[in-house]
Amino acid sequence: MIDFLGYMLVSVGIFFDISGCIGLVRFPDVYNRLQASTKCVTLGTIMILGGTALIIGTGAIAGKAIICAVFILITSPTAAHAISRGAHSAGISLTDKSIIDRYAEEK
């Protein structure tokens, strides 16, 4: 039963990771791509780590998986913020579909 739950978590995590990659290819500019990659890859990878911890089931592996999950949860949004701010400072404009850019107006 726990094995089944673990494999379910890994499968759903891989599905989210793949969707994030599809979004990374299809979205039009760097900011939208960051949205797709950050959200999906964070949750997808945490789910894969959690599923691995459930399947293997010993304390040591589970502890390492949880530490990795916490690191990803903290570093992934921070990295996305750094990249988007860097991209905006470097003058990369938003896609033509965008309707407003308050950051450029007020800088």
Partner 1 sequence: MRRVVYFIVALVVWLVLTWPFGTADSLQVILAGVGAAIIVSVMFHEVMPTEYKFLFSPVRVFWAIIYIPVFFYYILIANFDVVYRALHPKLPIKPGIVKIKTSLKTDAARVALANSITLTPGTLTVDLKDDGTMYIHWINIKSTDTEEATEYIAKKFEYFLAKIFE
9: enclosing H helix or E strand: helix 2-26
Give, to the nearest 10 degrees, the angle between helix 30-56 and helix 2-26.
170
Residue 55 exposed, middle or buried by CB count within 10 Å (0-12, 13-18, 19+): middle
Q: Which of residues 26-85 bind partner 1 (CB under 8 A)?
A: 26-29, 31-32, 34-36, 38-40, 42-44, 59-60, 63-64, 67, 73-74, 76-78, 80-81, 84-85
Residues of this chain that bind partner 1 (CB under 8 A) = 15-16, 19-20, 22-23, 26-29, 31-32, 34-36, 38-40, 42-44, 59-60, 63-64, 67, 73-74, 76-78, 80-81, 84-85, 88, 94-95, 97-104, 106
